[in-house]
Amino acid sequence: MGRARERWADVVDAWRHRSVKIGFAGTTLILLGSLTPAYLPQNSPWWGPMRALRLDSTPAKIAGTFVVVAGILLLVDGWFRLRPAAYEHVKHWAVLLIWSLPFLLAPPIFSHDAYSYAAQGWMLVNDVNPYEGGPGILPGAFADQVAWVWRYTPAPYGPLSMRIQEAIVVLCQLQPYWSAVMMRVPALAGVWLIAVLLPRIAHRMGINPQQTAWYATLNPLLVIDFVGGAHNDSLMMGLVILAIWLSFKRHLWVVGALVIGVAASIKQPAFLAAYALPLVASPLQRWAPGHVAATVARIVASCLAAIGSFVVISWLCGLGFGWLNAVNVPGLVVTVSPFTIVGQGIQIVLDFFRLDPSHHVAITAARTLGLVITVGAVLLMAATTARRKPITFLSWSYLVVAFCAPALHSWYVLWGALLLPLTRPSVRMQRTALWATVVLLSYSAVNLAWRNGALALGIAALGLFAWRVRSHENARPQDDPSEEEVVVP
């Protein structure tokens, strides 16, 4: 009881700070503005009240877009005001809780993925394997919630993720909308692991835990994508961070490797961490043959333990390895992936001069180049950076994978961004990371504006976001006793 009162006091203390209230106002506005036709399926229970209030009209769509842009701006503003240089005694988990509250029972924010999760769970309830076809196999309310591009594609996720989705659908008594909303529960479990363990890992490494808590756990992308969007990447990364934490306890890296197998059964990129765990426990400090052989043996054992854990879970889930047939599914949509954009630009020129009857050779070539660069960069860092800086290897590798993949989403960037403060980034890299965060948030705003028929408003928001970031960069922290720093509990 005393612990609960202490935690409540931490939340009350956080609420007293203006920057926390600004961020809360931001997430509240994002919630209200997202209740527009842009991201709500036609069978959503929100449509009745929206039509009654005429919120499906063009003026309402424009107003909703304006509210979302304002919300993102306020959230970013509150985030920058919480910079460690200006704060001292606000618990980061309390701030995260306050900012997340508006999203907890909200429809999925800026994404339809949670609706796909619910539909895949519904398929399993009906003994249909999601690896063998898309939700459209079972027409009805669950399939109708899924974005059309995913309606007839197999699931690319790990088998444990599928079974969790099935369990949530059953617990929600087969209600399509609430099943999608409750996909936030496993996502919140991942957020909890991230918020609790990342600053502690930073402290263990001699890195500023306040900076880590500020950039990673209070990052607006995490709040919007992991809490609001309910992406299963959240649980995957929470388990990866748990495995890293275990690896700092020298003899528990094998347990960490088993946890990586569990994380990969949620989403497969987690496998990359299995290489780093033994090096976290015991970096390769010298090139003596015996030391190198022992290190290689530990890396092999870690990878085998992760794969073995994954195989056992796949067998217990009874779904097989059908996800292998869906590895290209994420690339079916147009995103801001650099290699896809370059490929599309070249393809437009080729099509204009009628040089490519297939209409896709440039896009395919650009994506293949991105894959080659990804493999080459990861292998190079595995042989060089990883031996002494395994978490740097993991963070940078995840970022390379995210930016060179055929599809780029802000929640993919969080794989590496969450670990970035643990790499002791330079000032230039910190500035680049901050700008990348704002650019990805801006893309979400522009995408919403485009869906709502208010593209000009979304483009105007880009300039507003850039101006606000520059203002914060140029501001000198003030010695204000009422404004204090985010700290580790």
Residues 472-484: tens digit of each pLDDT: 666 644 433 334 4
For residue range 330-388, list pLDDT tens digits in order. 766 667 788 888 988 998 888 888 887 887 898 889 999 999 999 999 999 999 999 99
What is the rounded CA–CA span in Å between residue 79 and residue 76? 5
Q: Which DSSP symbol is given to 354? A: T
* 486 bridge partner residues: 90
Task: Give the per-residue pLDDT at 5.
Answer: 86
**What pLDDT score was predicted for residue 484?**
44
CA-based diameter of the chain, in Å?
Answer: 74
DSSP H or E segment with residue 397: helix 390-404
Asked whether 280 and 244 are in contact (CB, 8 A), the reply is yes
Burial class (CB in 10 A: 0-12, 13-18, 19+), 484: middle
Q: Of 383, 397, 158, which is closest to residue 272 (Cα–Cα)?
A: 397
Q: Estimate the share of the chain in helix, then strand, then coil, as percent rounded to the nearest 5.
A: 70, 0, 25
* C-alpha–C-alpha distance, residues 400 and 75, integer Å: 27
Distances in Å between the alpha carbon of 390 and those of 75, 257, 422, 451?
32, 14, 10, 41
Half-sphere exposure of 487 (CA within 13 A, CB side): 11
- 139, HSE (Cβ side, Cα atoms, 13 Å): 0
> What pLDDT does 453 receive?
56
Distance CA 275, CA 298 (A): 9
Q: Can you tell me the distance from the alpha carbon of 60 to that of 35, in angstroms, rounded to the nearest whole number? A: 10
Which residues are paired to 91 by β-bridges? Answer: 487
CA distances (Å), origin 334, targets 348, 367, 414, 424, 439: 14, 13, 19, 34, 17
- Ranges under pLDDT 50 in the chain: 476-485
Using only C-alpha atoms, the chain has a radius of gyration, in whole angstroms, of: 23
Tokens of 95: 């701030």
Residue 482 pLDDT: 37
Here the tokens at position 244 are 């890293």
Residue 196 burial (CB < 10 Å; 0-12/13-18/19+)? middle
Here the tokens at position 391 are 């978490």
Q: List residues bridging with 90 in a β-sheet.
A: 486
* Per-residue model confidence (pLDDT) at position 173: 95
* Neighbouring-strand partners of residue 487: 91
What letter represents residue 297's amino acid? A
Cβ atoms of residues 226 and 87 within 8 Å:
no
**Rounded CA separation 452/456 (Å):** 11
DSSP string, 252-273: GHHHHHHHHHHHHTT-GGGGGH
CA distance 233 to 230: 9
d(CA 486, CA 48): 42
Residue with tokens 């059309």: 148
Q: Which position has the token pair 């993919």?
A: 412
Distance of CA 316 to the CA centre of its chain: 27
d(CA 98, CA 24): 6
pLDDT of residue 407: 85
**Residue 82 near residue 90 (C-beta atoms within 8 A):** yes
Kindly state the tokens that stand for 106.
Answer: 């909200």
Neighbours of 64 (CB within 10 A): 23
CA 314 to chain CA centroid, nearest Å? 24
Q: For residues 339, 342, 347 and 353, what is the CA-based torsion angle, rounded to 10 degrees?
A: -160
Q: What is the pLDDT of residue 451?
A: 62
Backbone phi, psi, residue 251, to 5°: -95, 5
What is residue 111's predicted lDDT score, i.e. its pLDDT? 87
Q: Do the beta carbons of residue 448 and residue 228 sit within 8 Å?
A: no
Tokens 């995913």 locate to: 150
Nearest CA to 149 out of 175, 116, 173 is that of 116
